[in-house]
Structure 1
Amino acid sequence: MGQTVAALVGSGGYAEVVLTDAAAASPLSDKLDLRTAATLPAVHAQIHEVGRLRVGE
């Protein structure tokens, strides 16, 4: 396999394998366990979309 990544996907997000655009994927550090890593895309989306926070805030 290749690099472990996290991404928000349109559907099938709980599948073991999904297809998504490379721009939607972020590489994960080997230091993160998968349970923690799985929360990152959703938290990122909440901060930027719901909280409307921007760089520097």
Structure 2
Amino acid sequence: NVETEYYFDEKLYKRRFKIEKANAWLDSFKALLVRFETLNITWINLHYLAFSILFLRKIKV
């Protein structure tokens, strides 16, 4: 019976959790999820718009 050693980095876990949470929020925007846009700049700007909306919801404006 061999014990497996696990490496756990708390800082990395917290950072990854924040990124995964942000990705889940972005999934709520259908246009970003499906990616109807063909130009990269339009797709990037949709992400900026989505993050702006999420930020405004977070600060309850």
Do both proteins adopt the same fold according to a TM-score greater than 0.5, normalized to the shorter chain?
A: no
Which structure carries more relative contact order (alpha carbon 8 Å, separation 6+)? 1
Which TM-score band (shorter chain)? 0.3 to 0.5
Higher helix share: 2
Q: Which has the higher strand share?
A: 1
TM-score by length of 2: 0.34
